[in-house]
A and B are shown apart, each in its own frame.
Chain A
Amino acid sequence: MADEREQERRSAAEKFEQALEGRADTRYILRLYVAGMTPRSQRAIENVKAICETHLSGRYDLEVIDVYQQPERAGEAQVVAAPTLIKQLPLPLQRLIGDMSDKDRVLVGLGIQKKE
Chain B
Amino acid sequence: MHLIEQPGGSARVELQKSPTGIQGLDEITLGGLPRGRTTLVVGKAGSGKTLLGMEFLVRGALEFGEPGVFFSFEETAGDLTQNVASLGYDLNDLRERNLLSIDHVEVSRSDIVETGEYDLEALFIRLGYAIDSVGAQRVVLDTIESLFSGFADTAILRAELRRLFFWLKERGVTAVVTGESGEATMTRHGLEEYISDCVILLDHRVDEQISTRRLRVVKYRGSVHGTNEYPFLIDENGISVLPITSAGLTHTVSRDRISSGVDRLDAMLEGEGFYRGSTIMIAGTPGTGKTSFGASFGDAACLRGEKCLYFAFEESPDQIVRNMQSIGIDLAPHITAGLLEIHASRPTMYGLEMHLVLMLKQIQERQPDVVVIDPLTDLISIGTSRDVKVMLTRLVDFLKTDGITVLFTYLAHTREAVAPSDFVVSSLIDTLIQLQDIESAGERNRGLYVLKSRGMGHSNQIREYRITDGGIELANIYAGPAGMFFGTSRFVQEAKEEAEREAREEEIAYQQRELERKRSVMEARIAALRNEFASHEEQVRRLIKAEGARQDAVKADTRAIRKLRKADEPGESMIRSTGSTGEEQ
Write out the residue numbers on chain B whose beta carbons fall within 8 Å of the beta carbon of A109: 113, 115
Residue interface mask A86-102, B partner, CB < 8 A = 1: 00000011111111111
Q: Does A78 contact B (CB under 8 A)?
A: yes
User: CB-CB < 8 A to A72: which residues of B?
Assistant: 129
CB neighbors of B among A75-114 (8 A): 75, 78-85, 92-102, 105-106, 108-109
Residues of B within 8 A of A75 (CB): 103, 126, 129-130
Q: How far is the CA of A98 from the CA of B112 in the complex (A)?
A: 10
B126 near A74 with CB under 8 A, answer: yes
- Docked-complex contact A98 and B114, CB < 8 angstroms: yes
Query: CB distance B105 to A78 under 8 Å?
Result: yes
Contact (A94, B126) CB under 8 Å given A78-B106, A82-B119: no
Contact with A along B112-147 (1 / 0, CB 8 A): 111111111111011011100000000000000001
Report yes or no: B114 in contact with A105, Cβ–Cβ below 8 A.
yes
Q: Report yes or no: A83 in contact with B126, Cβ–Cβ below 8 A.
A: no
A58 within 8 A of B: no
- Contact between A97 and B125 (Cβ–Cβ < 8 Å)? no
Give the chain B neighbours of A35 by CB distance below 8 A: 119, 121-122, 125
Find the A residue at minimum CB distance from B107: A80
- B111 located at the interface, meaning its Cβ lies under 8 Å from any Cβ of chain A in the complex: yes
Closest to B111 in A: A95
Contact of B122 among A40, A44, A79 (CB under 8 A): A79
Are A97 and B106 within 8 A (Cβ)?
no
Q: How far is the CA of A98 from the CA of B151 in the complex (A)?
A: 11
Do residues B151 and A99 form an inter-chain contact, with CB atoms below 8 A? no
Min Cβ gap B122→A in Å is 4
Q: B379 to nearest A CB, angstroms?
A: 50
* Residue B150 interfacial (CB < 8 Å): yes
Residues of A within 8 A of B130 (CB): 75
In Å, the complex CA distance between A94 and B128 comes to 26
Assess the A100–B105 pair: CB atoms within 8 A. no
Selected contact of A96 from candidates B107, B113, B120, B121, CB within 8 Å: B113
A101-B122 contact, Cβ under 8 Å, with A80-B150, A95-B111 = no
Q: With A72-B129, A93-B111 as given contacts, are A81 and B122 in contact (CB-CB < 8 Å)?
A: yes
B113 touches A84 (CB 8 A): no
Q: B residues within 8 A CB of A44?
A: 116
Q: What residues of chain B lie closer than 8 Å to A94, measured between beta carbons?
A: 111, 113
Taking Cβ atoms with an 8 Å cutoff, the residues of B that contact A are 103, 105-107, 111-123, 125-126, 128-130, 147, 150-151
Could you show 7 A-B contacts with beta carbons less than 8 Å apart? A80-B107, A81-B120, A81-B123, A100-B115, A105-B113, A105-B114, A109-B115
